[in-house]
Structure 1
Amino acid sequence: METRTRRAGRRRAPGAALWAAPLVALTASCAPGTQVMLAEDRYPHHSAADWVTYADHVVVVTAEREREGSHAPLPFIDREVDLRVDRILWSRPGAARAVPATVGWTASGWVRDDSGGRTRTAVEGAPRVEAGHSYVLALVWEEARCDEGDPRVPAAWRGLGSGGAIPFDGAVLGAGESEGRVRTAAEAREDADARASGTGLTPSLEDEVTGKGTEALTARLEAAVPGERRQFARPAPCP
């Protein structure tokens, strides 16, 4: 059974590449063996305008290796994933830092229970980023943070949020691993259509391009007009 959880606070926590949150259990339904969490995104990521406003680069990556991490607060265990950068699809003009050939990525891993066991975790609507799968990621470089009373957060490439990472197996947007489940392009398209009909909201960038190739995504990014880049966390430079 899949368990869904909701965040209980605003402190950045497990899998900081994608989200922030301490989390508590909510409800259940769907895929076996995974606890799916609702979490706070770092930046807006719904539209192409959001991507070109907040991302430094949009890249195609393949997850090559992963290992247990050590940055998440108990009872969470994160994962450190090595991402091979296969292609750069878009870069923000004037981006201060070039994308390296390999990006280190902190991803959701597991949560411990009282008996000492562990359950796999994922963020709702987002890939876990698992070895052997490909993704399109909107990347932003964040400098190290030193908030008083909190552990030092190292500088790293991070994501915009749950909608800033798109599965990309077989060179098809939306196809591949998401929430720890592998979907076909047809299944991903069906999910996107269901969201559109069920909510009545403007489709997200991911839903607009699901089932298509990177040309559709790149065209939307190149046509988008960036907005004002807002600050969502107070400055906390390290000495």
Structure 2
Amino acid sequence: MAFGDQPAYLRVADDLRQKIVGGELPPHTRLPSQARIREVYGVSDTVALEARKVLMAEGLVEGRSGSGTYVRAQPEPRRLVRSGFRAPGGSTPFRQEQADEQMHGTWESSSEREAAGRPVADRLDIAPGDEVMRTRYVLRSAGEVVLLSTSWEPLALTGRTPVMLPEEGPLAGRGVVERMAAIGLTVDNVAEEVGARPGLAEETLALGGVPGHGVLVISRTFFAGGRPVETADVVTLSDRYRVAYRLPVK
């Protein structure tokens, strides 16, 4: 079997990866055992083990307790559409995050006061320790968790107003733009940053991923007259979505 000059474990992982992608090892098929890999590729147990670790880190295979390692079914990526368009009458936060017309989700939320840590304080242009309202959302589609979101709003702006709790009161679930307008703040700008990182254990567990699975993070901040009024992180598994932007041309 001819290979290049890569380290042995990467050469083995690359060959197995090609078999998985090419369909020779379809989803739910058991990966060759460590002994079989050692025999077929002429490598040591250590090399065989490291090759399997590479495939697990890439999310191509998963271990099943007491059974072995199996090829994972790869989800068909959906589009997470980002657009300046707003539907008439406002929208709930998760309606804005839903990926396409085929995904009709339900969500649950919980809000709690907390002192802003430095990262959130920097994003909201407030002092660390200032009070914010943190709201956590879980979005489900077909009963499965697909998106997580956490938003923060400075209580210096919304405290003791009818919109202090994003999902309660007369404008519950109406979205940041409409809620802020109700207290005299005109949202005129939004900034987003898209990045990827290893998922936290609780994130990947909630999203149905495996330890070490990468997540896609959209960090969004709404501004009114240059002042940040809300910032949020939207998190999903990185193999589940592609971020698609549709922006107006002026």
- TM-score under structure 1 length normalisation: 0.29
* More helix by percentage: 2
Larger relative contact order (CA 8 Å, sep ≥ 6): 1
Q: TM-score, normalised by structure 2?
A: 0.28
